[in-house]
């Protein structure tokens, strides 16, 4: 497993507990009644979740032991704030909180200097976003955040961008069962116009192979920048269904895209199209 490759001093990552869905539900019921031992069991039973997330930050130059401890703080916050009645998996709720905690740590320890006033405004923007997210159970838009804080959209965008740590060329931008795609993989030499032309045709043909609903979801996600929750409300299906359709559509696009590039290069130097 991926998390088994994370080396932490003083932690035997091979023997960390894994909880079943039934055990998780029982423990959360006990936590709601004030059982501190159940809270500790939930934290111990989800440490593998923290380890899996550390894979995203292993090239940041920070000791993994430190990031693991920060991730555990995010896990604790997730355990303390999770509500069973919302009907979502704990991992779905906890992953953004763990990632957010680690990103805040990296941002605060960044060598790039950001003024105290901008940092404070950025923190308020993030707090407002989390508050609106909890109240409405969906990702708030920029206009909603700006209205709640009595700011302009431009001020919110500026403050939010200031909260983001610099992007590494080794950061993954897409991961599935295949090899991950990193930022550096998306940087290309634009002088090769023939290759770019072939790639554009292959992508257009791949999108044309999708069913209308699949195409609608892919265009909304990757061309309009909408969240899965926003698309679910727009299309009239659940977020889980949007996620499944998106995954199937991406796999179909990837397969057709690679085939298109291979066929288009029949008169040129072949690339590996596996």
- According to CATH, where is 1.20.120.1810 located in the chain? 1-110
- According to CATH, where is 1.10.10.10 located in the chain? 113-164, 188-264
pLDDT at residue 98 in the model? 92
Q: Which CATH class is domain 1-110?
A: mainly alpha
Q: What is the CATH number of domain 113-164?
A: 1.10.10.10
Work out the burial of residue 71: count CB atoms within 10 Å of its CB; fewer than 13 is exposed, 13-18 middle, 19 or more buried.
buried
Architecture per CATH, 188-264? Orthogonal Bundle (1.10)
Mean pLDDT, to the nearest integer, of 175-188? 55
Token pair 């895209």 is found at 257
pLDDT at 259 over 80: no
- Short-list 174, 204, 165, 169, CA closest to 187: 169
Higher pLDDT, 270 or 230: 230
Please state, in angstroms and rounded to a whole number, the distance separating the CA atoms of residues 119 and 121.
Answer: 5
pLDDT at 189 over 60: no
Mean pLDDT, to the nearest integer, of 25-31? 90
């Amino acid at each position: 497993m991926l998390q088994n490759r994370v080396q932490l001093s003083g932690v035997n990552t091979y023997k960390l507990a894994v909880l079943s869905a039934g055990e998780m539900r029982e423990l959360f019921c006990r936590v709601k009644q004030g059982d501190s031992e159940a809270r500790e069991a939930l934290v111990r039973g989800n440490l593998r979740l923290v380890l899996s997330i550390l894979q995203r930050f292993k090239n940041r130059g920070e000791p993994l032991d430190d990031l693991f401890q920060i991730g555990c703080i995010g896990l604790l916050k997730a355990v303390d704030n999770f509500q069973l009645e919302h009907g979502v998996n704990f991992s779905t709720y906890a992953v953004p909180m763990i990632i957010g905690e680690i990103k805040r740590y990296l941002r605060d320890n960044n060598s790039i200097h950001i003024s105290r006033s901008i940092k404070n405004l950025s923190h308020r923007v993030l707090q407002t976003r989390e508050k609106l997210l909890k109240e409405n159970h969906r990702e708030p838009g920029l206009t909603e955040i700006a209205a709640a804080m009595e700011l302009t959209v431009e001020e919110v965008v500026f403050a939010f961008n200031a909260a983001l740590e610099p992007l590494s060329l080794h950061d993954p931008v897409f991961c599935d069962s295949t090899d991950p795609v990193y930022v550096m993989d998306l940087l290309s030499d634009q002088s090769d116009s023939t290759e770019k032309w072939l790639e554009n045709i292959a992508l257009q043909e791949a999108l044309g192979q999708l069913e209308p609903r699949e195409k609608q979801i892919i265009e909304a996600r990757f061309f309009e920048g909408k969240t899965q929750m926003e698309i679910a409300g727009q299309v009239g299906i659940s977020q889980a269904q949007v996620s499944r359709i998106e995954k199937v559509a991406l796999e179909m696009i990837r397969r057709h895209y690679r085939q298109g590039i291979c066929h288009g290069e029949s008169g040129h130097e072949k690339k590996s199209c596996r």
